[in-house]
Amino acid sequence: TYSCVHCRAHLARHDELISKSFQGSHGRAYLFNSVVNVGCGPAEQRLLLTGLHSVADIFCQSCKTTLGWKYEQAFESSQKYKEGKFIIEISHMVKENDWD
């Protein structure tokens, strides 16, 4: 599982991970199919490395740290697969094993 590095709240299961090769606002990020224990801010249009997207910042429900964003809408057809998916920057999460 992946958890918030600041408060250890559970964020996502490993099987929800789509890609490890994304770029967040402040460094490398992972793309997830779904996440838990996050709140969502208002959507806004941003020009990202892959073009114009409508995104909403996501934050940890527990400690309120901004973690990344949710893709609400992609304006280029090649980017449509991101809609409804979530970016979490790796600096804000820690991978935890379930077997300990």
18-49 tens-digit pLDDT: 999 999 999 999 999 999 999 999 999 999 98
- State percent of the chain over pLDDT 90: 93
Question: CB count, 10 Å around CB of 78?
Answer: 9
State residue 100's pLDDT score.
Answer: 44
CA 89 remoteness from chain centre? 7
Residue 99 binned pLDDT confidence (cut-offs 50, 70, 90):
low
- Angle at alpha carbon of residue 45, lines to 7 and 25, rounded to 5°: 40
Pick the CATH number of 2-95 from 2.40.30.10, 2.170.150.20, 2.60.120.1310, 2.60.40.1940: 2.170.150.20
3-state secondary structure of 89: strand
How far is 13 from 44, CA to CA, in rounded Å?
27
3-state secondary structure of 78: helix
Give residue limits of the domains in the chain. 2-95
